[in-house]
Amino acid sequence: MALTRAQREGELRKLERIDALELALNYFVEDETKREFVYFVMLEFVDEKKVKVDTKKVTIATKKIPFEAFVVLQKVVAMDPSVYAGQHETFTARLNSGHKQFKVPPIEAIVEPWAAACEARVADDAQFEAELAERTSKANSALSGKKMAAALKVALTDPPIKSKNLDLKGRSAELIYRVLKAVPAKSIEKQVAKLDAQQLDILMRYVYRGLSVPGNASSFLKWHAAIVAAGGLGTVGRVLCGPLV
């Protein structure tokens, strides 16, 4: 269903806030005296009509920023509120510049939803970590028993595609590549033929990731050819239009 103009504008504003937040966090990394700028962007997530934080947009922003920026955000929300006193006063004055007077929430009430969103993201990553540990254990067991098809299917189960933690994504990819390396070249087509459409798409995502690293082309191109033969060119199109791994 097509978005209305108002919905499109809302999505654009949402993206602009997230971009501004990431930029502010990057400034913070370079110079901690810029921390007031981070709070200024956080204030942009305050609904000025209701004079309270839009927690839904805060959650979206916290999930979308890269992992490095998220680590900085965790530091920011843990800071003493006095750090942001000046910006908070400026924000209060802006809201109360007209005839109507607003009761602006205290700094803690504005930072609290960000802290909660950070905790939620940490919990999500903890779940991804637990799932990776389980996949690794099962894949290792299957490899020890020379059960290549089982090892491959386990390694491809629920990868952390939605996670922004690059280290976690890297370790998930290494598990898959270790399984691929264990499969003899003459057995690649046979193993690929045992995968369903979703598993083929996931495997293709990791094949493209592998092809981006110099020196891996020969092996990954064999897997690429086998996946296309089994799943058709539609697999390529879906992967190229989908999220990165």
Provide the sign of the torsion angle of the four alpha carbons 99, 103, 107, 109, taken in this order. negative
Task: Report pLDDT for 181.
Answer: 94
Please state the CATH superfamily assignment of the domain spanning residues 136-241 in this structure. Actin-related protein 2/3 complex subunit 5 (1.25.40.190)
Task: Report pLDDT for 139.
Answer: 96
Task: Report pLDDT for 43.
Answer: 80
DSSP classification of residue 163: -
CB crowding 58-69: b at 16 or more within 10 Å, else e: bbbbbbbbeeeb
CATH 1.25.40.190-classified regions of the chain: 136-241
Q: Which residues pair with 52 in a beta bridge?
A: 47
> What CA–CA distance (Å, rounded) separates 243 from 238?
10
CA angle, 66 then 69 then 74, to 5°: 120
Q: Find how far residue 109's CA is from the centre of its chain.
A: 26
Residue numbers of the chain with a pLDDT score lower than 50 = 1
**pLDDT tens readout for residues 210-222:** 998 877 788 899 9
